[in-house]
A = this chain, B = another copy of it.
Amino acid sequence: MKIKKTAKKNLGAMVMAGAIMFSATVAGAGTPKYVFFFLGDGMSNSQIQATEAYMTQANGGSAHEAADLLRPENRLNMSKMPVIGMQTTYDVHSLMPDSASSATAFACGLKTQSGTVGMDDSKTVSYKSIAQLAHEAGKKVGVISSVSLDHATPAAYYASVPSRGNYGDIDTQLVGSGYEFFGGGGLKVMDPDELDDYGYELLNDRESIMGLKDAPRDKVVCINPWLQNSQAMPYAIDRPETNVSLAEMTEVAIANLKGDQGFFIMVEGGKIDWACHANDAGATIGDMQAFDNAVGVALDFYKQHPFNTLIVVTGDHETGGMSIGHATTAYSAHYERLLGQTSSFTYFDANQWAEHKAAYAATTDCSTPDTLAGNADMLGLMESVFDLNWTDLNEYQKEKLEDAYDKSLCGNNDNSNAENGLLYGNYNPITVTITHILNEQASIGWTSYSHTGVPVPVFAQGVYKRLFAGFYDNTDIAKKMARAMSLGTVPAMK
């Protein structure tokens, strides 16, 4: 691509200062052969603590007894990594970045605007990712995500597009990347059957994909058979036994990419973010555990190759303004309340709710004040799917559920638009109200349906882990990764 001189100048003093700071490459000796970058989309401190409190409860302990919370089996793998950093997540124009700009920060070391992937704020200059630089330097590359493989976060490692929505261009750059391994969700535009036109073998059932552990291939795309919506893998809480989990996909990728050349593997837990957007703690925690299990696979690999491996784990931004505390529960925590949830909001909306609405929308009398209280089927669903028992609720919670049920089943309620916007965002009113109340009972609060601007922790293990100590900007992560891998200066123009 031809570079415009004006755009070059517009990089800004900040980026240049960063580039100078990290321009010195590290001598080849000691450079890690195997490098993992784990990205929990929407993950920050609250998502981590909520998951550990849930795990404590699920393992038979109490989420308010320190002796239980501190037991090693109740801590996430990432929590046990020896080096911690913290990063500011804002992008060039927003304190709350999107996943495109933050992925560009991690992949290319470049600040850009929300929505843009692998290009600068002018949307005219394209940059190489550390994955591409590692590939050019001879490493094999794997890209794994629980959402579609052409979603913003994975895309930043192989594509440069002005808008994350340019899925056709992203898919074209995916097959043009030459990377050896892709795995997880599907593709938004390209028919996967076309992959072999570009030299990629497509595998899309559990048996074939797991078989790769014993019989690696040169260039492969592994797409799970059950894609829940938007070509993404289903939530872990929805028990996709026919699928390959993020942890298993990481094992498969390692088996395929391991060898003299070394590898760079990026693994995204992409639906942590989606669950947090919807303020669904149960789905969030399930996908946090699935993501952290994949981190565990890399840590096991590190133990076999301690002098050749670097593992970095972080989030791109927090989502939902999640907190480990709520006005209604004050100083008490009740994570056992979450153990009974059996479906994500997505699965519930698409299945149980859809069936319920089809059965009752035409016949329910929406003019009565106790529409929900009078519907045994719906009260039963609340109990069977979310373990939420009507008789345990206070009057205010019942009122909120009645309002939401009216809106979901009958199309409207008595609230102002401003109140409904605050209460439901763009989600199914009854479902988001159920998860709000259930989460509050556990002591989890939410403030937003969007990303937030809270700084995010970084965890590191292995060779050069100490580079990741301290409080820095998200763009510095790519610079540190490039330095650890001796890939030269980033941002690096294509």
Asked whether A447 lies within 8 Å of B447 as measured between CB atoms, the reply is yes
The reply to whether A333 and B455 form a contact with Cβ atoms under 8 Å apart is no
Residue of B with least CB distance to A324: B453
A98 touches B331 (CB 8 A): yes
- From the candidates B321, B421, B451, name the one contacting A445 in the complex (CB within 8 A): B321
Interface contact A471-B95, CB-CB below 8 Å? no
> Contact: A447 with B446, CB < 8 Å?
yes
A451-B331 contact in complex given A70-B14, A90-B66, A416-B395, C-beta closer than 8 Å: yes
| Segment of A45-53, A153-161, A360-368, A480-488 engaged in the interface with chain B | A45-53
* Bound-complex Cα distance A421 to B396 (A): 10
Residue on B nearest A321 in the bound complex, by CB: B323
Beta-carbon contact of B53 and A66 below 8 Å: no
State in angstroms the CA–CA spacing of A98 and B325 once bound together.
Answer: 13
A447 to B328 Cα, complex, angstroms: 9
Closest to A76 in B: B471
CB distance from A407 to the nearest CB of B (A): 15
Beta-carbon contact of A84 and B471 below 8 Å: yes
> Which residue among A44, A81, A91, A327 has the maximum number of chain B CB atoms within 10 Å of its CB?
A327
Seen from chain A, the residues whose Cβ lies within 8 Å of a Cβ on chain B are: 12-14, 44-46, 48-49, 53, 63-67, 69-70, 79-86, 88, 90-96, 98, 111, 114, 318, 321-328, 330-333, 394-397, 399, 416, 418-419, 421-422, 425, 443, 445-455, 457, 459, 466, 469-471, 473
CB<8 Å pairs between A and B, sample of 19:
A14-B66, A44-B45, A45-B86, A66-B93, A84-B470, A84-B471, A94-B331, A95-B324, A95-B443, A114-B331, A321-B325, A325-B450, A325-B451, A326-B448, A327-B447, A330-B449, A394-B416, A397-B418, A446-B447
